[in-house]
Amino acid sequence: MNKSMNNHDIKILIVDDQPSNLRFLSKILTNQGYQVKRAISGQLGLNAAISDLPNLILLDIMMPEMDGYEVCQRLKNIEETCSIPIIFLSGLDDIQDKLKAFQVGGIDYIIKPFQVEEVLARIDTQIAIQKLNKQLADRNALLQQSQSLLMSILNSSLDRIAAFLAVRDNQGNIVDFQWILVNKTVENSWALNSDNLVGKYLLKELPQHRKNGLFDLYVSVVETGEPLDTEFYYEQEKFGACWLQIVAVKLNDGLAVTSRNITERKQAEQELARSNAELEQFAYVASHDLQAPLSIIASYAQLLKERYKDKLDANGIKFIDKMIKGSMRMQCLIDDLLEYSRVSRQSKDFEVIDCNFVFEEACANLQLTIRRNGVQISCCNLPKIVGNSSQMVQVFQNLIGNAIKYRREEDPIIDVRVQCRESNWLFSVKDNGIGIDSQYSERIFQIFQRLHTQEEYTGTGIGLAICQKIIECHGGRIWVESELGSGSTFYFTLPIVGGD
């Protein structure tokens, strides 16, 4: 006996009109740990099976009033008892008797007199089969539940979700894809019946996939194993054009595809880009056109001061000085606005540049300021990048210039470093200046945002905004780490040039 069967959980019903047979079988099975019930007639056996469902029935054939065949037939016609395995125990050994036993629903037949070992082996076998069938039924039910849950999730998704199996010709080339899974969103998007799509072929249902190149992208995913994540402009005659965000991954000899309609987002991005371009154009034209009248105001104010200073009192001189100073500040603001608007215009003029030369040029432009303030500046060997040289000079110049401007009483110390981080260079410009409160670490990169008054530190509040725009146009990002009174470190990333 297999002791792992947990016999004490197994209920066996013995139906026999001979009390000696009932006692003998009951003793054997009880010793094996089974729960045993006995019935001395066919009717009592039928009632016992219905009232307390057993796991297995040992059923005699030759009984008065209701024989074993009739008991078996009735049990098989009742939904609750039809699946109970029944082993016939009989002295009838004619082939016709055995055939009838199997025809009415028996699963085994043991001839009396029997060997105890044979009976136990047959019972073990049927109990094991019953347990395996139950496990299989439970797993099938769990699988169906999982499939129902999966389809419920898939059908509630706003994304188009589908899985395909590659269809290959005799040479092994992919000539089509067969749907093996699809959700309702696909049906709604393509006006297809998703219930009937499984088993059908992609190019037959959506031939435009070949024309627009999407089919070839799918083939590439399956053949190379490289996942696809792209924004795809999909043109179709029936529904017009749309933008799709498509993600596809290899799945055995096929692929799983998720796509989302991003047309509204793309239209909004395009509208935003157009508005930004118009705004930049307006800022450029307005700033450019303001320079001439501003220059006239500043020139005449200076001329007024020089020619009529003897006729003006102290307040008059003071007012004219403020006019001149304000004009100069306005000129600086216009120059910075023009520079800010030029960033996007020059972002396409990229070439391989050596950041060592960029750093040297920025320091040369700040030479007088560096000498006057006793600046100690150090720099490691810098890499080559792809970018706009003049814009990168401006980034270094603005960051170094700010480190000098926002100094403490001791001489400024500035250290420029770079590290290789996966696909990016990480640059850092560290100083020992006054530092920045961490709550303003994002605000300082916004245009016209200043943390100090003009009397404390001069400036337009555009320098760091220009730096951020330049770095972003170069495919990187910029940020600061600082504490008030403890200096600042400005970081920015730039893509690594292939083979550098």
Total-model pTM: 0.44
- Give CA–CA dist 487/465, Å, rounded: 20
What gap in Å lies between CA 75 and CA 83, rounded to an integer?
9
Helix (H) and strand (E) counts in the chain: 16, 17
Of 231, 265, 299, the residue that ends a domain is 265
Checking 473-482 for CB contacts under 8 A at 24+ apart, the result is: 473/343, 473/344, 473/347, 473/391, 474/347, 474/350, 474/385, 474/386, 474/387, 474/388, 474/391, 474/392, 476/424, 478/445, 479/441, 480/436, 480/441, 480/444, 481/441, 482/435, 482/436, 482/438, 482/441
Distance CA 266, CA 284 (A): 26
Both 382 and 491 in a single domain?
Answer: yes
Q: Considering the domain boundaries, does residue 201 fall inside one?
A: yes
Count the domains in the chain: 4
Beta bridge partners of 457: none
Name the residue with tokens 């023009």: 338
| Alpha carbons 237 and 208: distance in angstroms, whole number | 9
Ordered per-residue pLDDT tens for the chain, 500 residues: 444 346 788 899 999 999 999 999 999 999 988 999 999 999 999 999 999 999 999 999 999 989 999 999 999 999 999 989 999 999 888 999 999 999 999 999 999 888 899 889 999 898 888 888 888 888 888 887 777 776 676 666 678 888 899 999 999 999 999 988 888 777 766 666 555 778 889 888 888 888 888 899 999 999 999 999 988 888 766 666 788 889 999 988 999 998 888 888 888 888 887 877 776 676 666 666 666 677 777 787 888 888 887 877 888 888 888 887 777 767 766 666 666 666 665 555 788 999 999 999 999 988 998 999 999 999 999 999 998 888 899 899 989 998 988 888 888 999 999 999 888 999 999 999 888 887 777 888 877 665 655 555 555 567 888 889 889 888 899 998 988 888 899 999 999 876 55
CA distances from 374 to 173, 406, 417 (A): 71, 14, 20
Q: 213 and 88 share a domain?
A: no
Helix (H, G, I), strand (E, B), or coil: what is residue 435? Answer: coil
Non-local (6+) Cβ contacts of 160 within 8 A are 183, 185, 186, 189, 257, 258, 259, 260
Q: How far is CA 478 from the centre of its chain?
A: 25
Residues 36 and 129 in one domain: yes
- Give the residue from 29, 43, 36 showing the smallest Cα distance to 1: 29
Same domain for 484 and 370? yes
Q: Burial letters for 149-164: b for 16+ Cβ neighbours within 10 Å, e otherwise?
A: eeeeebeeeebbbbbb
Last residue of a domain, one of 230, 265, 300: 265
Residue 324 amino acid letter: I
User: 240 lies in which domain range?
Assistant: 160-265
Does residue 271 sit in the same domain as residue 261?
A: no
Alpha-carbon distance of 468 to 395, in angstroms, equals: 9
Q: Are residues 336 and 401 in the same domain?
A: no
Dist CA 29 CA 153 (whole Å): 50
Q: Are residues 280 and 218 in the same domain?
A: no
CA distance 413 to 373: 10
SS3 call for 253? coil
Quote the tokens at residue 445: 């990169």
Tokens linked to 260: 């989302």
Q: CA-CA distance, 44 to 47, in Å (whole number)?
A: 5
Q: And the tokens for 408?
A: 């403490």
Residue 384, strand partner residues: 354
237 and 304 share one domain? no
Considering the domain architecture, whether residues 436 and 411 belong to the same structural domain is answered as yes
CA-based Rg of the chain, rounded to a whole angstrom?
Answer: 44
Check which CATH number belongs to the domain holding 330 and give it. 1.10.287
Q: Would the CA dihedral through 185, 187, 188, 190 be positive or negative?
A: positive
Residue 233 C-beta-side C-alpha neighbours within 13 Å:
2
In a domain, 322, yes or no: yes
| Residue 98 maps to a domain | yes
CATH number, residue 236: 3.30.450.20
Whether 147 is in a domain gets the answer no
130 found inside a domain: yes
What pLDDT does 498 receive? 65
Instruction: Tell me the CA distances in angstroms from 256 to 175, 190, 202, 250, one per residue in order.
Output: 17, 17, 13, 7
- Same domain for 445 and 402? yes
The answer on 296 and 184 residing in a single domain is no
Buried b (16+ CB within 10 A) or exposed e, 335-353: ebbbbbbbbbeebeebeeb
CATH assignment at residue 132 = 3.40.50.2300
User: CA-to-CA distance for 260 and 263, rounded, in angstroms?
Assistant: 9
Same domain flag for 132 and 48: yes
State how far the Cα of 54 lies from the Cα of 57, in Å rounded to an integer: 7
